[in-house]
Amino acid sequence: MADHIFLKGTAMTTAFDPVDLAGTRLSNRIAMAPMTRSRADAVRRTPTALVAEYYAQRASAGLIISEGVHPVAEGQGYPFTPGIHSREQIAAWREVTDAVHERGGRIFAQLMHSGRIGHPDLLDGDLHPVGPSAVAPAGQAFTPEGPKDYVTPRVLTGDEVRETVAGFAAAARHAVEAGFDGVEIHGANGYLIQQFLATGSNHRTDEWGGPVENRIRFAVEVVRAVAAEIGPERTGLRISPANTLNDIAETETEELYTALLDAIEPVGIAYLHVLETAPELRPLVLDLRKRFAGTFILNPSTEGPTSSESLALIEDGTTDLVAFGRLFIANPDLPARLRADGPYNEPDGATMYGGDHRGYVDYPAL
């Protein structure tokens, strides 16, 4: 159960205090946000020994949320990204989770189905990017041959939507088998779940589209299926209300996300992770915080990378944990640096995606 917001008469909670995440004890309230780094094996889509070293270096985070992991083969949206739908992938991820646990860390796998964000060149055989409707996103996909225009997705039939829900549940089971402490369902950033939520990408007239209660159905069914498979205490959800990333056009944002929370609340999942895309969304964030009974994780809107100033959001009760992204790329020992208020290494943008150990595991600790 989350700390209740704005409690009076209690000692102030800080970012460096432990927290109980639905039965999993976290050593602090600093989360490593999920970040694609594109270092997986290109053929097998498996994490490598370098990936294990990268996450182990960052095990002092209270909670590590992994890079996006495709739950099914057609869910891959970027080159050199890992899956968790084959026995080989499960075994490779076990090397990663063992390395994190040996350092005392906790790690959840982020299950990310990219939907229409991708390209046939990234997929095996005759697989094709899928979506709720035949609406191609603006922009270009990253492919092994360079940028290419996004294609029109193949529309999922009703039966295929249900199969995709089952694919998320199977991937969650695989993640637990691979040693993850739980999974985060990626419902943000313009990928498949948000594509169902948004009217710009969801033009369906069946039970999966149209009014708000239908557009949230896919997200709700995925949450229910995953929680039933591995337990709600091992299940988290990430959302990004009003996010326009990946050509998303949302309407009725407040109604949409309050309805989504009301629908999943009875499931009792471990946490809700909100990516705040603009400062003016703070009132909605606070409302979602009050509506959600579990642990609340906030990736706050800031002018630059999330900094130590955001830790005050834990102290004033706005959130239970703060998620840091770019700072964790360049600072493997970020909690120690936040406690000391720096100094901080600067991330190298040229090595952010793909490549070798440079800009990945060679950033120095204090």
Just list the catalytic residues.
191
Kindly give the interhelix angle for 87-102 and 49-57, rounded to the nearest 10 degrees: 30
Whole-number Å distance between alpha carbons of 360 and 358:
5
**To which residue do tokens 């294609």 refer?**
151
Whole-number Å distance between alpha carbons of 19 and 3:
9
Kindly give the interhelix angle for 217-230 and 253-264, rounded to the nearest 10 degrees: 30
At a CB cut-off of 8 Å and minimum separation 6, what does 281 contact? Answer: 241, 242, 301
User: 291 in helix, strand or coil?
Assistant: helix
CA 127 to chain centre: 24
DSSP alpha helix (H) spans, 7-152: 49-57, 87-102
264, 273, 176: which is closest to 224 by C-alpha?
Answer: 264
Contact 75, 31 (CB under 8 A): no
Half-sphere exposure of 94 (CA within 13 A, CB side): 9
CA 3 to chain centre: 22
Whole-number Å distance between alpha carbons of 235 and 65:
12
